[in-house]
Amino acid sequence: MAYVAIRRHFEVAMVRLDLTQKQTSVLWLIEANAGVSQIALANELGMDRASMMAIVDRLEERGLIQRKRSAEDGRRQELNVTAKGRKVLAQAKAAIHEHEKWIGQKFTKAELNGFIDGLKRFGR
């Protein structure tokens, strides 16, 4: 039940930006890796190409990213965040920060440290 409450809180925080969790992740990764390809993003996020294409299409339709054919490899499309996309992503990062703060308020300092330590095991 806690997972549902956390997910719902996140969705409410992001609804005004009209972004899903996956769209936010893709936008964030494109910003951090200018010129990245759809295939590289799909591989990084463990998604199939069709799902990634749908997300990229949606972000492009909204003017948050742009596709550009690679100068080195004409088959490859490079993805970059637009000025509008940077603005929306900054708002998303602020909303995520507030969401994380909300979660953190549900724990004592010791509980939160234990939780974070436990999560770090997945990164190893």
Tell me the pLDDT tens digit for each residue of 75-123.
Answer: 778 999 999 999 999 999 999 999 989 988 888 989 988 988 888 888 6
pLDDT of residue 11: 86
Predicted TM-score (pTM) above 0.85: no
pLDDT of residue 80: 97
The correct answer on CATH 1.10.10.10 for the domain covering 2-123 is yes
Give me the DSSP letters along 73-112. -TT-EEEEE-HHHHHHHHHHHHHHHHHHHHHHTTS-HHHH
In the chain, domain spans: 2-123
